[in-house]
Amino acid sequence: MKTLTKTKITLAILLAVSSNVTLATKAQTAGEKDDNTEQSIIENSVVTKYSPEVTLDTVQEIFGHNLETQDTTLKTLLLAIGMDHTTNTSPNAESNIGIPFIVDKGPKYWVARLVNKDYEVEVLVNNALLLLFSKEEFPNAQQAADDLMLTASAKGYWPASYYIAERNLNKFLTRDLTKKISSAGAITTEKLKTIADDTMKRYNECAELGFAPCQYRIGFWLANSEKTVKDGLEVLRRAIKTTMSDKRYFGALDGAIISAAKEIVFKGEEAGLEHVVREEYTKLIQHQLSALTQAAAQATEIQND
């Protein structure tokens, strides 16, 4: 199926976004859970669901090689979408969200629905993915994608909420404060606090759902404070367990596992973890590093053949 031209698809999406009355609502405060409570929604309901079969050629026709991005936020967004799609208890279980569905129907189909003021979650997210990953370059694509994801988040789509949290973190909360910012680009301390609170709520919500990247985020933050280091290491232990017990994470979070295990080993004694427990994570680090070395060697061997 042919794609829209660059100009048409850009104008169609941007006009649809600009004509959409803000649908975003305040993020709900994440409820606290007991440490012994099993995270349920993502981790305990893995299923295999239908996705259209598409060829590499048809994918590259629309996205080129952009799906092979090294951008952590975008890579993890695709992971989150895949996790949600294969989670039986997801409220979006019947939605056609993701790259295979975009390719199957074609960009024109998804853009047309948005232009016709169809604001179903699948329409919002798939149009955002087109803006973020298409091989074509669209003016203001990032802001338009953010607006679409914010609306999808307000409708309860947690991968979009995760994406907004990451965008907030990178855009507002990790800025270099040593650099001068024009008055037009300045942001008040009160506004930053509001953004920070909203961002943490979003991370807490997806961590409670059982999404490992959010668990790592929170775990590392807590572990970096003397007052909360014990809680942080417990969250990191949970994140490692989540990652290693779900094959859908295979190969996606190897670096996070190693970094979290190192944190546990180095700060475990301070947090009251027994030596035998810290030793287990030392062995885990060695195992992960060995596995990565073997994988790299195999990849090199394949390239040389």
Instruction: Give tens-digit pLDDT for 12-55.
Output: 555 555 444 333 322 223 333 444 444 456 765 566 667 888 99
Question: Residues in the chain, how many?
Answer: 305
Distance separating alpha carbons of residues 73 and 149, to the nearest angstrom: 13
Residue with tokens 């629309």: 62
- H or E segment to which residue 165 belongs: helix 158-168
Backbone angles phi, psi at 63, to 5 degrees: -110, -5
Which tokens go with 218? 């929170």
Q: How confident is the model at residue 161 (pLDDT cuts 50, 70, 90)?
A: very high
Rounded to whole angstroms, the maximal C-alpha distance in the chain is 62
Distance separating alpha carbons of residues 120 and 73, to the nearest angstrom: 23
AA identity, residue 112: A
Query: Both ends of the chain: CA-CA distance in Å?
Result: 36
Distance of alpha carbon 110 from the chain centroid:
22
In this prediction, residues 212-225 reach a mean pLDDT of: 96
Which tokens go with 136? 């074509």
Residues 130, 102 contacting (CB under 8 angstroms): yes
- The number of beta carbons lying within 10 Å of the beta carbon of residue 10 is 21
- Which segments of 188-253 does DSSP mark as H helices, in order? 189-209, 212-223, 229-245
Distance separating alpha carbons of residues 14 and 143, to the nearest angstrom: 9
DSSP assignment, residue 237? H
Which range has the worst mean pLDDT, 110-114, 174-178, 274-278?
174-178
Distance separating alpha carbons of residues 103 and 22, to the nearest angstrom: 28
Which range has the worst mean pLDDT, 5-9, 82-86, 201-205?
5-9
Return all residues near 214 (Cβ < 8 A) that are at least 6 apart: 162, 165, 203, 204, 205, 206, 207
pLDDT, position 77:
98
Q: How confident is the model at residue 263 (pLDDT cuts 50, 70, 90)?
A: very high
Beta bridge partners of 46: 87
Distance separating alpha carbons of residues 86 and 17, to the nearest angstrom: 28
